[in-house]
Amino acid sequence: MPVEETEKEMLKEDVDGGDDTATTQKQPHRGVYLLPNLFTTAALFSGFYSIIAAMNGNFTQAAVAIFISMVLDGLDGRVARLTRTQSAFGAEYDSLADMVSFGIAPALVAFTWALAPLGKVGWIAAFIYAVGAALRLARFNTMIGSQDKRYFTGLPSPSAAAIVAGVIWASESAGVSGEQIASVMALLVPITGLLMVSNVKYRSFKDLNIKGRVPFVVLLIAVLVLVLIALEPALVLAGIFCAYGLWGVLGIFIKQLR
């Protein structure tokens, strides 16, 4: 995950130096923190593997690999914070890995699975998603520290990837081929890409206090969701992330009705 803006400024000062002699001297080689970057590398590997799996026609594996990449991407930032190994290198590396795992991989998997027979319409739809992910990540990096942490501006790229991968996974599990819903994917993929660069607000849940006490019914719901995911992972995960994507859009209409 990206480091805070103040940390980036401090790191920049360390690199720039404060006097002329510091800039003329050769900067010493600096290593990188191993543990958090291992998680980032693993997330990048999962995203890359999803592309290879799709090229070989293993679309279920390709979709699952994207979800695995999501889990690993969520862990690298937490590991960095817990071990106090945050760095500018880690932030940039994480962002580049996200572009592969949540930008390029979902677009290519969707194209190979359903969009290729549509010709130009298919690859344009996939490209809109890919460029949407790139713009979303760039905007996120430039807005660090300047927006309300309770909300994301635009659909987060991991959630967008989960929508595309979830639909593919659920369809494959139900025996539905990409060609059968090619028209649906030709709409879903670019719309998801556009939602990433929209101004629609999505809850980040960063303000959720999981350490405090919660009503007993919340625990029951959490257990029920976990059981459902264990029973039907493809269908439930696709439903959860599609609902999350729609919820931000519905929130706009709800505010207008008030």
What does the pLDDT look like over 33-89, one tens digit per residue?
778 899 999 999 999 999 999 999 999 999 999 999 999 998 988 888 888 888 888
**Structural domains in the chain plus CATH codes:** 5-9+33-206+214-257 (1.20.120.1760)
Cα→Cα distances 7→19, 40, 170, 231, Å? 21, 20, 41, 43
> What pTM, to 2 d.p., does this model score?
0.84
pLDDT per position as a tens digit, 160-215 = 999 999 999 999 999 999 999 999 999 999 999 999 999 999 988 776 666 667 67
Question: Residue 147, exposed/middle/buried by CB under 10 A (0-12, 13-18, 19+)?
Answer: middle
Cα→Cα distances 161→28, 33, 88, 121, 129, Å? 39, 27, 25, 20, 9
Has residue 14 got a pLDDT over 60?
Answer: no
